[in-house]
Structure 1
Amino acid sequence: MEKKNTIIIGRKRIPDMKFLELRQKDVINCNTGECLGFVLDLEFEIHTGKICYLIVPKTTKMFICVGKNKVYKIPYKCIVRIGRDTILVDINEKECLK
């Protein structure tokens, strides 16, 4: 029987997940309960392949195409839990907004 790879967050193991599956989950800040949006991109360490940051575009009520849109650059270590429909993160939004 082939052993399936797992991702470890803290001491918890989660099954392998494809980027497409990750992009379909709401990212929620567990400090405020606010939905930040969906994962747009990942930043990873080129030598190890480990994910460093989730990139989530800041959503606004009024979409304006002037200048560069801001994104949340969420450290991977700030992920609290990845659930069926959501990714819970523990962040200070002002520090992560780039």
Structure 2
Amino acid sequence: MNKAMFSINNVRQLEVIDINSGTKLGYIKDLRIDCDRYKVVSIIIPDNKKQSTWFSKSEDIEISWEKIHKVGQDVILIDGEEYIDEE
């Protein structure tokens, strides 16, 4: 089996999409890595629904690696039902 290799810059250009609703969540802001095991633990994306103001910071959404179903050439598909707020 041929495994694809991605650089951090390439991964940050992939759009994160929830497979349950088809919602576009945004692009990866950062990765949390377990340096002892050399594994990605989670991805971090900005929460676009909460706008930052002069006196507050925007919140980030941390998505566990177990919630990622597929990393494709253009998108990352996640099971994000607990991260999506229905309005």
Higher relative contact order, chain-length normalized (CA < 8 Å, sep 6+): 2
1:33 and 2:22 correspond: yes
- Give unmatched runs, 5+ long, in structure 2: none
- State the alpha-carbon separation in 1 of the partners of residues 22 and 71 from structure 2: 15
Correspondent of 1:80 among 43, 64, 69: 69
Correspondent of 2:46 among 45, 57, 78: 57
Shift of 1:64: 3.2
Instruction: Quote the residue 1:42 is aligned against.
Output: 31
Larger Rg: 1
Instruction: Quote the residue 1:71 is aligned against.
Output: 60
Q: TM-score, normalising length from structure 1? A: 0.74
Shift of 1:13: 6.0
Cα RMSD (Å): 1.9
- State the alpha-carbon separation in 2 of the partners of residues 41 and 76 from structure 1: 13
2:16 is aligned with what amino acid? V
